């Protein structure tokens, strides 16, 4: 029941805001992936040839049946998710958007006493693309986004997903933010294990929306590790849902690692506008003034005026030219 002292219009406004935020889920409901950003050839990426996604997660396992991992919090675990291949040709790509070809077919890997080590060993001898999803994501939607991103980039290394226990519902913004922060230790453990594996090549991190908040918190904890700075090739924050003041404070303490960072921003991002209102009017880094961000030494790509996304919150997936911003960041970081 609403508080009797609270005006009805305020409850309606809050409801509308939460609905807007719910629409910002990366892959919930309507498809967010443009068919024009995915290569036609199924073998264009390593994941297209062998669609096995490495998964490190702080979600509680639900066993061998879909959805495999739920919304509750659990200890860090490792799994390998087998995905369906992307559609072939233009017809197949359109079908992929409508039917979601990047589905999770199954999850294996079993229980490991050392999940972070198992996660890192599975990436032996390869560069790694580590995707960290944002608000309002199920395990399945996060896995589909990771698959789409890797294939759109024609990435030739191992693709990995760090998935944290998002509630996957319209009204779970607060739960998601707390879950992201709670997952920091698991993220740090998984990233530290990747860095410690001498056979792993460059580690490229792409974090979307609230996933950028989690990633930034983890990098802050690892900021004194010379190995982390040396092994990470690039860090891309796509539409980061991070308080701009907190973002400035943290990035200023990351030293050389900040120069590996690229931000994809859009002052017209409607989802981040809602997030800023919930946060008391404080701007989010993904919609902040470009010059303010560049003063921190990070690269900034402003996507104003690009793409067809209604909320303008997922252009790194839905617009091929914005996807190439990620590709260029990884190319710079691979040297």
Which tens digit of pLDDT belongs to each residue from 118-134?
Answer: 999 999 999 999 999 99
In this prediction, residues 76-92 reach a mean pLDDT of 75
Tell me which of 1-15, 186-200, 202-216 is least confident: 1-15
Give the chain's length. 335
81 pLDDT higher than 60: yes
Of 151, 149, 170, 127, the closest CA to residue 238 belongs to 149
3-class SS of residue 299? strand
Q: Specify the higher pLDDT residue, 203 or 93.
A: 203
Q: Specify the higher pLDDT residue, 213 or 64.
A: 213
Q: CB–CB of 161/53 below 8 Å?
A: yes
3-class SS of residue 318? helix
List of long-range contacts for 34-37, beta carbons under 8 Å, 24+ apart: 34/97, 34/308, 34/317, 34/318, 34/319, 34/320, 35/90, 35/93, 35/94, 35/96, 35/97, 36/93, 36/320, 37/148, 37/152, 37/317, 37/318, 37/319, 37/320, 37/323
Bond into 67 cis (ω within 30): yes
168 pLDDT higher than 50: yes
pLDDT recorded at residue 87: 61
Helix (H) or strand (E) holding 304: none
210 pLDDT higher than 50: yes
- Confidence grade of residue 27 (pLDDT, cut at 50, 70, 90): very low
> What pairs with residue 132 in β-bridges?
162, 207
Q: Which domains does the chain have, with CATH numbers?
A: 8-333 (3.40.50.1820)
> What pairs with residue 128 in β-bridges?
158, 203
164 pLDDT higher than 90: yes
pLDDT recorded at residue 40: 56
CA distance 60 to 75: 7
Tell me which of 30-39, 235-244, 245-254 is least confident: 30-39
In this prediction, residues 204-216 reach a mean pLDDT of 98
In this prediction, residues 270-280 reach a mean pLDDT of 91
Of 287, 206, 204, 281, the closest CA to residue 241 belongs to 287
pLDDT recorded at residue 112: 78
Q: Rounded to a whole number, what is the largest CA-CA distance in the chain?
A: 62
pLDDT recorded at residue 18: 47
Q: CB–CB of 165/71 below 8 Å?
A: yes
Q: Specify the higher pLDDT residue, 86 or 305.
A: 305
pLDDT recorded at residue 160: 98
CA distance 82 to 80: 7
- The pair of three-digit structure tokens given for residue 335, joined into one six-digit string: 């040297």
Neighbours of 131 (CB within 10 A): 26
- Confidence grade of residue 5 (pLDDT, cut at 50, 70, 90): very low
In this prediction, residues 67-72 reach a mean pLDDT of 96
Phi, psi of 68 (to 5 degrees): 75, -50
Neighbours of 202 (CB within 10 A): 18
Q: What's CA 163's distance to the chain center, in Å?
A: 8
């Amino acid at each position: 029941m609403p508080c009797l002292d609270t005006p009805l219009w305020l409850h309606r406004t809050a409801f509308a805001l939460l609905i807007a935020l719910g629409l910002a889920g990366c892959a919930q409901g309507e498809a967010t992936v443009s068919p024009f950003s995915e290569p036609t050839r199924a073998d264009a990426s390593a994941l297209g040839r062998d669609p096995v996604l490495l998964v490190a997660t702080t979600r509680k396992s639900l066993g061998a049946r879909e959805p495999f991992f739920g919304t509750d919090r659990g200890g860090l675990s490792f799994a390998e998710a087998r995905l369906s291949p992307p559609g072939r040709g233009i017809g197949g790509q359109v079908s992929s958007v409508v039917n979601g070809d990047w589905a999770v077919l199954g999850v294996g890997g079993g229980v490991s006493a050392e999940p972070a080590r198992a996660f890192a060993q599975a990436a032996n001898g390869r560069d790694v693309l580590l995707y960290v999803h944002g608000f309002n994501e199920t395990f399945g939607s996060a896995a589909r986004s990771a698959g789409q991103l890797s294939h759109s980039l024609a990435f030739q290394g191992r693709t990995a997903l760090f998935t944290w226990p998002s509630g996957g519902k319209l009204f779970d913004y607060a739960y998601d933010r707390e879950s992201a922060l709670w997952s920091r230790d698991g993220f740090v453990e998984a990233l530290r294990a990747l860095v410690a594996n001498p056979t792993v090549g460059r580690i490229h991190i792409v974090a979307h929306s609230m996933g950028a908040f989690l990633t930034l918190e983890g990098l802050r904890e690892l900021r004194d590790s010379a190995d982390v700075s040396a092994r990470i090739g690039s860090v891309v924050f796509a539409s980061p849902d991070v308080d701009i003041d907190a973002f400035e404070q943290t990035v200023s303490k990351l030293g050389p690692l900040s120069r590996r960072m690229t931000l994809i921003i859009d002052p017209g991002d409607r989802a981040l506008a809602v997030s800023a209102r919930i946060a008391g009017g404080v701007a989010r880094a993904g919609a902040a003034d470009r010059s303010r961000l560049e003063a921190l030494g990070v690269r900034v790509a402003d996507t104003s005026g690009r793409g067809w996304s209604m909320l303008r919150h997922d252009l790194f997936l839905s617009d091929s030219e914005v996807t190439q911003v990620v590709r260029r960041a990884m190319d710079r970081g691979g040297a």
